[in-house]
Structure 1
């Protein structure tokens, strides 16, 4: 990573209102890592720039760039800096580009009534319609022309689209989450969007975004009970003294009882996660959607759809010499059962019900690898063997194990009995990303797949019908990390944990849309990191010494990577669900 991609020392990161809780963490105040090019939402007092009398043209352009971050009323704040003709013709909706910093130079020269500036910046992302952030890279170069109008400088020439500096973007936008249903319609999948940080109609805005459907690339991975025919209208009960929020839908078809609950789950969790006050009175053309909830729905009414359910800490670890070991308050001890006899363990995962284990074994560094599967209390069974086995990872819905064998064969393995069922599925959507796949993990909803290819991390979608990787949906996130990623794991449905080869910020988290990258504590961890995992509030990493764990909910001053009792100085791998 070049020094140009390093930020100044970061003491703390502030979250904008509505940002996902797991997407924002505070760094230890006594730790002073030089942080990678981190997206960190902030919420300072917002001042709206306006043209200043007799303002110099370069300063006017800079205020124009700041005002461009305000999208209200077709970027009305920014149009004040344009001539009337330019204000009428400027297409601000063409594209929104976010740059690290906007640099201006007067290369076009300046006369008494004419000035021209070149804007250059390092692109860090784009904001697509619907508030969809896309991690991006490259250089931006645009020419902005100004003329004197009634003695004042105004912009009369500029390209279509909007350029926003990163700091202004995080001052004026906040990350929210829309929720869609998995293919089985019994769980929720987050779809992060960026909306104006402060808006009075947030609830209506989010529901209208839900009706537009999921982001491109996720359409064939999720379902929605909120049809695109629906719209939100002001409720006749608006303005009464009842607490909570009323959302009145028009164009909503009659739904079955099950579909009504699924519809409510999408809407209620979308509103609740963005701090829109509840209870939520969901109406169809002025009448309650379900008479049982005439006074409003709460998250408790759709608790089975909780997108961030509680997760137990890690209960098992894998060692090469002692197989599976069990972790408890007293430390590590050999696990009861046949898995303690597995030797040469290298990677492992556990099913979400905690009953099944998959372990990759291999005694020598260059020798063959075996994938062993089976119930926790039964004898391990060999499912496949090869020169390399990447994975394993469990699907949360069908409980099957995935692994990439010999770098080309993507297998889906049913566990049960003495003869595991092995199905080969299309690996091309993954193999097209690069030549060397070193990790793959299915997310806790079963809708997404994270893969590490050529030391970069990609996220793609899985078909809601076949469960297979969807071609064209994989995209790189965490570009500013460079090509030094070794491993990835899902912290939850909207955030991944990444291990890196570097000693600087060896473990980071990245939001699923790539917008927020945050380093975790660097206390008592020494890169490179070869494996990462997460379970609830704890994150686990294997550094050059041992298996470590970090309590991300601890007080800032107590966020140390700690060894696990009984495994100090012993090479061990984390074993968690997924």
Structure 2
């Protein structure tokens, strides 16, 4: 269930991974309440680098960089490579930078008792407190000085902060999701963090992170039933029990209503389950069950309606320019029947999340005006908008209205009205600040975040939990190493987007929402550029230079190639899925 280290970087110059490297506290042996720090590796099975007798200075610096990936006890492992004075004065919390590869050169010269090395590297990310990854670009250059003490080389001069090589980080830390509530309170929103991969107190560190709240930018987009005042302690009665699951005792937790208790449990249970912490989960308040009905523990089945990654069926419909909406089955494609099959010139279409409504952008020629049609799937489509360009549509999962960007300047949402569609102007300023030419617009399945492609770049931003409007200052670019090749975007799931690109080399790429993992999809039997993209469950759908294609992303590697849709070969068609 946890992505962990299985999601290794596929494009070395694109990917980066991070974790905040602040000081650490270890889990106490007593049962008194204790806030558990998040970033200390457990040490179990972990090879900790130590200085080697008579080690050459450049090799000692290399091992120091490896040890810097272990943040336990204020980077105690890395401080072994420093002189006592440098170990006391080194500010490891000042800045943490992830680099692709550290190159060393002895430009400062080397004498019998003194050496100086220049470290140069390409930056790929930086670390924020709470295990939050931030993409970064540019070159890093720092100077590291060494002195010979008692016949052994030790580092005595280095700048504040920590430099981690990507390979060391991905071998030491794992990607895990914290879950917060959407504005409606009935859905979970993932907030991806990076924590030590091998640690014994993972359940407590994750719950502690939940109590600290969502990452900056998500605060106004999500809700939480985990108050900041809560702390956790291990359940001593669970020690030595085999197969007993996980017990967490909360202190400082106020009395919750029945609904709030379920929401609280959903956040905790899914956070732990997705991190492979064993269940059932015995959630207690000051030693007593949080809910007597679940005294033996909660399972994911008890909060199944909150499943953040529910199963999704493959695509069942497609939109053709000549024959409107068609249905797909094992025998091929056939007209869907009804008014939607009479629509001509369809260029993109999206189903509402409940499968009841359909929105279509139609236009016989890209140079001609485009129309937005909306209506019930089994009803008559209504004309809602006419503009020179329309980007979208995308449905909000809660209110069921479709969003479009009109002429690259106006953001509107459209609902199915009794007499005619309702059109509401929204605050498009946060999007206009990103660029001028929009080609992709997609709301995530929880309704908390918005993915945008503008001027060939991909941005992820938050939507207000109260108003649903885009939140200014929350949009951040991901996939910077793609340059300006992005054309279209779709949500593969709540924590990953899939990008269609204006390139023949890597036409389709997936990116985690935090920007840490960028992975190209198969390049077999696809001819970029990609002009449309969608995802449903294990399958991704694109329109390349030739036709509508599908890719089974979990097929055996040897069978992972793009295939044409039966009945739609060489026919202009676009994917139709919920979103």
* TM-score for both structures, normalised by structure 1: 0.93
Distance in 2 (CA, whole Å) between partners of 1:89 and 1:502 is 49
C-alpha separation in 1, matches of 2:80 and 2:466: 50
Please list the CA deviations of residues 375-432 of structure 1 after superposition, one character each: whole Å capped at 9, or x if unmatched.
Answer: 0111111111111000000001110000000110100111233311111111111111
Give the SS at the match of 2:378: coil
In 2, are the aligned partners of 1:533 and 1:541 still within 8 Å (CA)? Answer: yes
Matching of residue 454 in structure 1 with residue 431 in structure 2: no
What aligned pairs does 1:553-564 form with structure 2 within 5 A after superposition?
Answer: 553-564=554-565
> How far apart, in 2, do the equivalents of 1:502 and 1:35 lie?
19
CA contact (8 A) 1:218 1:461 kept: yes
Shift in Å, 1:235 = 1.7
Query: 2-side partners of 1:24 and 1:61: how far apart?
Result: 28
Alignment of 1:416-427 (within 5 A): 416-427=417-428
Distance in 1 (alpha carbons) for counterparts of 2:438 and 2:465: 24
1:111 corresponds in structure 2 to: 111
Aligned to 2:465: 464
What is the match of residue 13 of structure 1?
none
Partner Cα distance (2:72, 2:399) in 1: 45
**C-alpha deviation, 1:18, in angstroms:** 3.2
Contact preservation (8 Å) 1:497, 1:508: yes
User: Following the alignment from structure 1 to structure 2, what is the Cα–Cα distance between the partners of residues 40 and 246?
Assistant: 30
Deviations 1:206-247 (A, max 9, x none): 000000000000000000000000001122323141510000
2: CA distance, partners of 1:468 / 1:274: 32
Deviations 1:462-520 (A, max 9, x none): 00000010001011111111210111000110111101111122111111111111111
- Offset at residue 85 of structure 1 (A): 1.2
Contact 1:179 1:190 in 2 (8 A): yes
Q: Which residue of 2 aligns with 1:12?
A: none
Residues of 2 paired with 1:495 and 1:402: CA distance?
20
Stretch deviating more after TM superposition (304-313 or 409-418): 409-418
Q: Distance in 2 between matches of 1:36 and 1:535?
A: 28
Cross-structure match for 2:179: 179
How much does 1:39 deviate? 5.0
What does residue 19 of structure 1 align with?
3
1:60 corresponding residue in structure 2: 60
Match of 1:131 in 2: 131
The alignment partner of 1:205 has SS state of helix
Cα distance in 2, alignment partners of residues 393 and 251 from structure 1: 41
Q: Is the 2:413–2:426 contact (alpha carbons within 8 Å) kept by the matching residues of 1?
A: yes
Contact 1:323 1:345 in 2 (8 A): yes
State the SS of the aligned residue for 2:117.
strand
Cα distance in 1 between the residues matched to 2:251 and 2:452: 41
Q: 1:133 to 1:66 in 2, by over 3 A?
A: same
Q: Any conservation in 2 of the 1:391–1:404 contact (CA below 8 Å)?
A: yes
CA distance in 2, matches of 1:173, 1:526: 36
- 2: CA distance, partners of 1:194 / 1:26: 15
Aligned-pair CA distance for 1:77 = 0.7
* Residue 542 (structure 2) aligns with: 541
Q: Which residue of 2 aligns with 1:5?
A: none
- Give SS of 2:238's match: coil
Q: Structure 1: how far apart are the matches of 2:502 and 2:329?
A: 30
The answer (yes or no) to whether the contact 1:230–1:251 under 8 Å persists in 2 is: yes
**Secondary structure of residue in 2 paired with 1:417:** coil
Matched, 1:275 2:259: no
User: CA distance change for structure 1 residues 345 and 258 in 2, over 3 Å: closer, same or farther?
Assistant: same
CA contact (8 A) 2:490 2:499 kept: yes
Mean Cα deviation higher: 229-238 or 342-351: 229-238
Which secondary structure does the structure 2 equivalent of 1:210 belong to?
helix
Return closer, same or farther for 1:46/1:397 CA change in 2, 3 Å cut-off: same
**Structure 1 residue 26: deviation in Å?**
11
> Any residues of structure 2 matched to 1:189-338 within 5 Å, and which?
189-241=189-241, 243-338=244-339
Please list every run of 5 or more consecutive structure 1 residues that lacks an aligned counterpart in the other structure.
Answer: 1-16, 28-33
Determine the structure 2 residue equivalent to 1:494. 495
8 A contact 1:237–1:246 mirrored in 2: no
Cα distance in 2 for partners of 1:234, 1:256 equals 25
Q: After superposing the two structures, state which structure 1 stretch, 456-465 or 110-119, moved more.
A: 110-119
Partner of 1:10: none
CA distance in 1, matches of 2:8, 2:562: 15
Measured against aligned partners, the alpha-carbon deviations of 1:146-191 in whole angstroms (never above 9, x if no partner) come to 1111121111111111100110010101001000000111000000
Give the RMSD, CA atoms, in angstroms.
1.8
Q: Separation in 2 of the partners of 1:335 and 1:370? A: 21
Whole-Å separation in 2 of the counterparts to 1:327 and 1:357: 16
Alignment partners' CA distance in 1, 2:12 and 2:442: 26
**Structure 2 counterpart of 1:405:** 406
Length-normalised TM-score, structure 2: 0.93
Moved more, 486-495 or 83-92: 83-92
Report the counterpart of residue 51 of structure 1 in structure 2. Answer: 51
CA contact (8 A) 2:16 2:124 kept: no
Structure 2 partner of 1:188? 188
Contact kept, 8 Å, 2:4 with 2:197, in 1: the verdict is no
Compute the displacement of 1:550 (Å).
0.8
State the match for 2:526 in structure 1: 525
